[in-house]
Structure 1
Amino acid sequence: MGYFRHSGFVIFATAALGGCSFQAALDKLVTPERQKELVAIAEGFCTDPPGARSLLHPEIANSTIEAAPALPRECPEGKATWQLASYDWKTNATPGLKERQEEVVVVGTSAGKWTTVSLRFYAQNDGPMQVTEWNVLGSKTKPPALEFIDQYETGARTMRIALPVLLLIVGGLVFWLVRRHRAKKRGA
Structure 2
Amino acid sequence: MKLLKKIFKHKLKLPTTTSDNIIFNDLFPFNNNLDAIQVISHLLIYNYILNNPFLDYITQQIIINIQLDTWLPWWPSTQYLISLDQKKYLSFTTFTKALVKFAHMGFTFTPSFDTVIRGGNKAIIEQIPFNRNTLTSWKRHLLLFKDQLVNIDRIYVKEWKDINLNL
Q: What TM-score does the superposition give when structure 2 sets the normalisation length? A: 0.20
TM-score, length basis structure 1: 0.18
Greater RCO, 1 or 2 (C-alpha within 8 Å, sep 6+): 1
| Larger strand share, 1 or 2 | 1
